[in-house]
């Protein structure tokens, strides 16, 4: 795991002891500047996770600064040596700088570094890493590569589950008294007994039912999925329900990505979970091209040349692991 689990701290300066508050906020500010520099790496994210795990006060300081509530104050009033880069970023135009920082943390360009939502998630996996845990009794959640999720625990509403920030998760729930749910953007999938897979990628959200039944809400009409059925809710709102081979839809658990007539845009979304940088389509029209292929996640670097040959495309390899396909 990259990030520790179990933090549910309110984003208030009261959580940081007064004698340590300024120093921790300064360090947190440096971390946010690093993350929004455009040069942040997964190693930086791992070191940040370790720093945040040092104490609840460290976590609270990071949430405070990343929430842009004390950022300008810290930059203006701190006199600690060695902080010139942070002051240069925030000193002259605090409002504009805060806006840029907020945008960079919330929506990193091309997803080249983790967003604030990912960094503050309760659980997060790195590229090529998988992780399984039991959020509540009777439920197992398996996280795919490059996935982030947070826990939901609203006992008063009788609701427990996880919020999928990005990536993919497979859920096994058995004979629960209360439904277990997975929120992914505007889509919510819940069940008392089922196995199902949820993907939240750039193009939209997909829920695939393997066994049992899964109730999906978030569209105009609630959808009840049964075994070997899936629903895809595109980012633009288009909803597609279809029959599937559940074993193929969840083949990532066996180290495979199996596509049969899948749009290239969706294929690229999934491949990007397993590699550094990002594959980008030069034209949106390319996203509709159908793909029939099998990729091994352990050899995902072979995917780009395979796609070039299959669809007669050209790939340009740019800095930062970005691949432009045209």
If one counts every other C-beta atom within 10 angstroms of the C-beta of residue 323, the result is 20
pTM exceeds cut of 0.85? no
91 and 198, same domain (yes or no): no
pLDDT at 66 (0 to 100): 62
In-domain check, residue 261? yes
Cβ-proximal residues to 228 (8 Å cutoff; 6+ apart), any chain: 209, 210, 243, 244, 245, 246
216 and 278, same domain (yes or no): no
pLDDT at 277 (0 to 100): 81
136 and 245, same domain (yes or no): yes
114 and 136, same domain (yes or no): no
Nearest one of 49, 54, 44 to 3, comparing CA atoms: 49
In-domain check, residue 155? yes
> What is the number of domains present in the chain?
3
Q: Which of 120, 149, 169 is the last residue of a domain?
A: 120
202 and 157, same domain (yes or no): yes
136 and 68, same domain (yes or no): no
Domain of residue 291: give its range. Answer: 255-325
Q: Which of 199, 229, 249 is the last residue of a domain?
A: 249
**What is the domain-level CATH number for residue 291?**
3.55.50.30
pLDDT at 95 (0 to 100): 43
96 and 35, same domain (yes or no): yes
- 192, with CB counted inside 10 A (0-12, 13-18, 19+), is middle
Q: Which residue intervals of the chain are DSSP H helices?
A: 18-35, 42-52, 56-66, 71-77, 84-90, 94-106, 116-119, 246-249, 264-271, 303-311
Structure tokens that stand for 156 in this block: 């008063």
In-domain check, residue 53? yes
Q: How far is CA 196 from the centre of its chain?
A: 18
Helix axes 42-52, 56-66, angle to 10 degrees: 120
Q: Do residues 61 and 51 lie in contact, with contact meaning Cβ atoms separated by under 8 Å? A: no
Q: Which of 93, 120, 147 is the last residue of a domain?
A: 120
In-domain check, residue 140? yes
In-domain check, residue 126? no
In-domain check, residue 1? no
**What is the domain-level CATH number for residue 170?**
2.60.120.1440
211 and 241, same domain (yes or no): yes
104 and 147, same domain (yes or no): no
106 and 70, same domain (yes or no): yes
241 and 259, same domain (yes or no): no
pLDDT at 22 (0 to 100): 64
Q: How far is CA 84 from the centre of its chain?
A: 32
In-domain check, residue 4? no
Nearest one of 98, 226, 120, 225 to 165, comparing CA atoms: 120
158 and 238, same domain (yes or no): yes
Q: Do residues 86 and 114 lie in contact, with contact meaning Cβ atoms separated by under 8 Å? A: no
In-domain check, residue 83? yes
Q: What is the pLDDT along the chain (326 residues), one digit of tens a residue?
A: 343 333 333 333 334 444 455 677 778 777 776 765 555 666 777 787 788 788 888 877 777 666 543 334 444 444 433 333 444 433 444 444 444 444 444 455 555 556 666 767 888 888 889 999 999 999 999 999 999 999 887 654 556 899 999 999 999 999 898 999 999 988 999 999 999 999 998 888 999 999 999 999 876 778 999 999 999 998 877 889 999 999 999 999 999 999 999 999 999 999 999 988 889 998 989 999 999 999 999 999 999 999 999 999 999 998 778 899 99
């Amino acid at each position: 795991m990259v990030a520790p689990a179990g933090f549910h701290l309110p984003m208030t300066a009261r959580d940081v002891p007064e004698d340590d508050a300024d120093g921790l906020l300064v360090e947190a500010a440096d971390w946010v500047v690093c993350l929004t520099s455009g040069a942040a790496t997964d190693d930086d994210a791992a070191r940040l996770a370790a720093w945040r795990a040092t104490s609840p006060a460290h976590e609270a300081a990071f949430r405070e600064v990343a929430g842009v509530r004390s950022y300008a104050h810290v930059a203006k009033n701190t006199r600690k040596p060695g902080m010139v880069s942070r002051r240069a970023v925030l000193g002259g135009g605090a409002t504009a700088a805060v806006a840029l920082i907020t945008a960079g943390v919330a929506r990193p360009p091309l997803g080249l570094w983790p967003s604030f939502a990912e960094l503050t998630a309760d659980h997060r996996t790195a590229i090529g890493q998988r992780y399984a845990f039991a959020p509540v009794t009777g439920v197992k959640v398996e996280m795919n590569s490059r996935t982030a999720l947070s826990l939901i625990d609203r006992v008063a509403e009788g609701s427990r589950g996880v919020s999928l920030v990005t990536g993919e998760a497979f859920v096994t729930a058995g004979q629960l008294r209360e439904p277990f749910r997975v929120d992914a953007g505007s889509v919510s999938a819940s069940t008392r007994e089922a196995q199902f897979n949820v993907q939240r990628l750039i193009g939209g959200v997909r829920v695939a039912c393997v066994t049992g039944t899964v109730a999906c809400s978030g569209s105009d009409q609630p959808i009840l999925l049964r075994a070997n059925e899936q629903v895809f809710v595109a980012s633009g709102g288009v909803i597609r329900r279809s029959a599937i081979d559940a074993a193929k839809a969840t083949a990532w658990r066996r180290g495979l990505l199996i596509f049969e007539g899948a749009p290239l845009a969706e294929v690229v979304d999934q491949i990007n979970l397993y590699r550094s940088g990002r594959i980008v389509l030069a034209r949106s029209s390319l996203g509709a091209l159908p793909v029939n292929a099998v990729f091994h996640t352990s050899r995902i670097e072979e995917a780009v040349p395979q796609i070039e040959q299959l669809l007669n495309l050209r790939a340009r390899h740019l800095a930062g692991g970005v691949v432009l396909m045209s």
